[in-house]
Amino acid sequence: MSRAAGPPADTDIARMRGIAAFAPLSDAALAELMGLATPVAFAAGAVMIRQAETIDVAFALLSGEVAVVNETALGEAQLALIAAPALVGEIAALARAPRTATVRAVSDLTALRLPREALVKIARDNPDMLVSVVGQLARQIQGVNEALAVYAGGFEALERDDFDPAVLGRLNDPSPEMRGFSEAFQRLARRIAQERRNRSEMASAALIQRAMLPQGLAGLDPLGRCDVFGDMTSARDVGGDLYDVFRLDDDRLALAVGDVCGKGVPASLFMSVTMTVLRLAAQQDGDVATTLRRVNAMLYAQNPSALFVTLFYAVLDLRTGRLDFASCGHNPAFVVRSDGACRTLPGGGMPLGLFPDKTVRSQQIDLAVGDTLFLYTDGVTESVDAAGDEFGEDRLSAVLGGLGGARSEAVCRSVMAAVGAFTRGIDPFDDITCLALRRAAAGADR
């Protein structure tokens, strides 16, 4: 539980200035932000942020230390220890995304409770603050990638049965962000040295991937003007598929499906960055093309690993049925009319994150009541049978043509079943992701 604290002191202002995200702010902007914040205090052991909850606030730590933990069915896993001054929870607050971890006070601490509205207001007037936030996230990812290189070498040595205990010595002085992971790895390495097995990295990638996927799609439009459903079957080697659906306002819904190059933890982390910056960019004024140009610029600027993502992004006006969309190197989406007529929307183009300046052209189409928009990743069309033949767009079109007017969940389930029947039990080599939206009459039985 938190309790109110006294007004900020001069020392608090100095500590706020020590937070990287706020370093670019002028004295006036920093004073304005602090004026919009609420001082709070937490006792040791108190939970500041709970995993999976959605709250539009971040916390600026002024004193004390917090632990970041992931809560799983197997118990808690400590991800990091963070000492003041620091900013926690800002990405989820800005993106209005569910919290992917719990933040708990390790010691008695003081903080400023920062509402999302305050962060957005200051960021609009001081865009360098937003760049700093994304830059910090990118540096964390880079640090994880570098550490994973050490861990990967250890895993390979374990698999070759020539593990050198000296590898563990390289992990004795990890960065603060990686301390919990380092300690867990050392315990795991000693056990693997005896049992010769490890699936930890892929399990971590799957956790990241699943944690970022949207929940509660059924309640996105209280007026019942659409129904939406998404589903993903992860491959044995977890990739970077993503899908997202979120409201821009009472009458506009944003949809996206994408695929990050690569597999494992790096792809899953880049997937989480992509979803975060997409939500941030979409909240600003601008059309579909402008949003994607902003996303590309942010991904390119903070992309030391030279990863990229294909993405199909669309915004639907629930009042009129007008769909604005654009594809960045992604598979062509399908529109299934209520009578079963099926057509593809233009795909292709260049992926995001590769080049600093990217041309994006949006297009429009009208969805009538009963029409369905179907988005997917190449894991659907490139699934192969025992003979090595691909499922392909023609088979996908044939399946969709028999589902005119069907609910979105039925559409996704039918496509997944058709792919499974085609491959006949062969393990997928890539994630298989589907997202469907069916436009409905307001208040109709869905």
Read off the CATH number of the domain in which 76 is found: 2.60.120.10
The larger pLDDT score, comparing residue 399 to residue 18, is at: 399
pLDDT band at 46 (very low <50, low <70, confident <90, very high): very high
Q: Which of 99, 125, 151 is the last residue of a domain?
A: 125
Whether residues 292 and 189 share a domain: the answer is no
pLDDT tens digits for 322-369? 999 999 999 999 999 999 999 999 877 889 998 888 889 999 999 999
Lowest mean pLDDT segment, chosen from 80-89, 164-173, 435-444: 164-173
26 and 158 both lie in a single domain: no
Is 162 found in the same domain as 61? no
pLDDT-derived band at 445, boundaries 50, 70, 90: very low
pLDDT value, residue 107:
95
Residue 52 confidence class, pLDDT cut points 50, 70, 90: confident
pLDDT band at 269; cut points 50, 70, 90: confident
CATH code of the domain containing 422:
3.60.40.10
- Enclosing domain of residue 17: 2-125
Instruction: Quote the pLDDT of residue 226.
Output: 93
403 with 341, same domain? yes
In a domain, 337, yes or no: yes
Q: How sure is the predictor about 163, in pLDDT bands with cuts at 50, 70 and 90? A: low
Mean per-residue pLDDT, 426-444? 83
Number of domains in the chain: 3
**Among 100, 125, 150, which residue terminates a domain?**
125
pLDDT tier, 140 (very low <50, low <70, confident <90, very high otherwise):
low
Q: Is residue 255 part of a domain?
A: yes
Q: What is the mean pLDDT of residues 271-275?
A: 85
Residue 330 sits in the same domain as residue 220 = yes
Average pLDDT over residues 286-300: 91
Question: Please, which pLDDT band fits residue 165 given cuts at 50, 70 and 90?
Answer: low
For 217-261, write each residue's pLDDT tens digit. Answer: 777 887 889 999 999 887 765 667 889 999 999 999 999 999 988
pLDDT in tens, 179-222: 555 666 566 556 655 544 434 555 555 566 566 667 667 778 87
Closest by Cα among 346, 342, 341, 343 to 324: 346
Q: Is residue 130 part of a domain?
A: no
107 and 227 housed in the same domain = no
pLDDT tops 70 at residue 152: no
pLDDT in the model for residue 150: 62
Structure confidence by residue, pLDDT tens digits, 63-118: 999 998 888 776 777 777 889 999 998 888 888 888 888 999 999 999 999 999 98
> In terms of domains, do 14 and 73 share one?
yes
- Whether residue 223 is found in the same domain as residue 350: yes
Q: 204 lies in a domain?
A: no
- 129-138, 283-292, 296-305: lowest mean pLDDT where? 129-138
Residue 444 inside a domain? The answer is no
* Distance between CA atoms of residues 198 and 178, nearest Å: 19
Is residue 150 domain-resident? Answer: yes
Same domain, 306 and 384: yes
Is residue 131 situated within a structural domain? no
* Cα–Cα distance for residue pair 384/393, rounded to 1 Å: 13
Share of the chain above pLDDT 70, in %: 77
Which is higher by pLDDT, 148 or 298?
298
- The per-residue pLDDT for 182 is 61
Mean pLDDT across the stretch 36-53?
Answer: 93
- Answer whether 37's CB lies under 8 Å from 87's CB: no
- 190, 266: one domain: no
What is the average per-residue pLDDT within 122-126?
Answer: 85
Residue 170 within any structural domain of the chain: yes
Judge if 51 and 162 occupy the same domain.
no
Q: Which domain-ending residue is among 71, 95, 125?
A: 125
pTM given for the model: 0.57
Query: Does the pLDDT at position 47 exceed 90?
Result: yes
Judgement on whether residues 346 and 281 belong to the same structural domain of the protein: yes
The pLDDT, as a whole number, for residue 98 is 87
pLDDT of 446 reads: 43
What mean pLDDT is reported for the chain? 82
